């Protein structure tokens, strides 16, 4: 189970340009100066974007959310009693945290997209920063079942999964940056989007690439935690 320092989803970027109206720690939910990855390595998001392959989105195969491990019940690959959403809340809590029987959590959380604060762990939903349906249309429809489940529960890279208020998550849906960006810290968001797509070797379509290039050009040099390649054995222990 992850037991990272209690710094929200703040810990991933070093030197990211921020939106003028975006508050910072303890207010900002998307940027900080803590180590960006296990090694502390960061990369320029624009460089990562150049390495992504451009391809039309696949619309043929039928998208199935259950294929990503969200079907019969909570997914708990390490068998510690805390399923994926709880693992993310444990990672991203603010201040003291108590973990009780059955992974009952007592603490405080801040939504990464709108800054809303709650002490109710059930008030926040789990957002795949690159939505499952978007991943499916960007190449995941051809993946093996184990890779799909690993993507849906990727606790190995901080930006893959984030805790947000339900209303914002519903508003975002499966949209890409062409039609949806958070109200704050957009530079961080688009850099993280590029990093997650790089990590999983997903494609971008032409409109998506243009939107990402436009945002990153506006942001200026924007560094993001080096995403690395996913280790399926670590993400799916015992499977």
Task: Give the start-to-end residue ranges of the domains of the chain.
Answer: 10-230
- Local structure of 85: helix, strand or coil: helix
pLDDT of residue 21: 30
Nearest partner of 148 among 228, 238, 208, 64, judged by Cα? 64
Alpha-carbon distance 40 to 159, whole Å? Answer: 14
- Local structure of 175: helix, strand or coil: coil
- Local structure of 89: helix, strand or coil: helix
**Residue range 17-41: mean pLDDT, rounded:** 41
Flag whether pLDDT at 19 surpasses 60.
Answer: no
Q: Model confidence at 116, in pLDDT bands (50, 70, 90)?
A: very high
Alpha-carbon distance 149 to 146, whole Å? Answer: 5
Q: Model confidence at 239, in pLDDT bands (50, 70, 90)?
A: low
Q: How many helices (H) and strands (E) does the chain have?
A: 8, 8
Whether the pTM exceeds 0.85: the reply is: no
Element (H, E) at 50: helix 45-50
Write out pLDDT tens, residues 183-217: 889 999 999 999 999 999 999 999 999 999 999 99
pLDDT of residue 39: 60
Q: Model confidence at 29, in pLDDT bands (50, 70, 90)?
A: very low
């Amino acid at each position: 189970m992850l037991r990272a320092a209690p710094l929200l989803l703040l810990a991933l970027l070093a030197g990211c340009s921020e939106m003028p109206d975006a508050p910072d720690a303890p207010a900002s939910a998307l940027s900080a100066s803590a180590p960006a990855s296990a090694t502390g390595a960061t990369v320029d998001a624009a460089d990562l974007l150049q390495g992504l392959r451009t391809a039309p989105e696949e619309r043929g195969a039928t998208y199935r959310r259950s294929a990503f491990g969200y079907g019969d019940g909570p997914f708990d690959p390490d068998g510690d009693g805390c399923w994926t959403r709880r693992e993310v809340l444990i990672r991203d809590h603010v201040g003291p945290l108590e973990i009780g029987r059955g992974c009952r959590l007592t603490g405080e959380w801040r939504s990464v997209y709108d800054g809303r604060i709650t002490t109710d762990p059930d008030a926040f939903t789990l957002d795949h920063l690159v939505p499952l349906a978007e991943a499916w249309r960007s190449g995941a429809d051809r993946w093996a079942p184990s890779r799909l489940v690993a993507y849906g529960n990727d606790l190995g890279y901080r930006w893959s999964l984030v805790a947000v208020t339900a209303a914002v998550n519903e508003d975002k849906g499966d949209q890409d940056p062409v039609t949806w960006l958070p109200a704050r810290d957009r530079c961080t968001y688009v850099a993280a989007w590029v990093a997650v797509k790089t990590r999983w070797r997903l494609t971008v379509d032409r409109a998506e690439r243009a939107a990402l290039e436009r945002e990153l050009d506006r942001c200026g040099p924007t560094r993001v935690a080096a995403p690395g390649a996913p280790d399926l054995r670590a993400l799916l222990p015992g499977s």
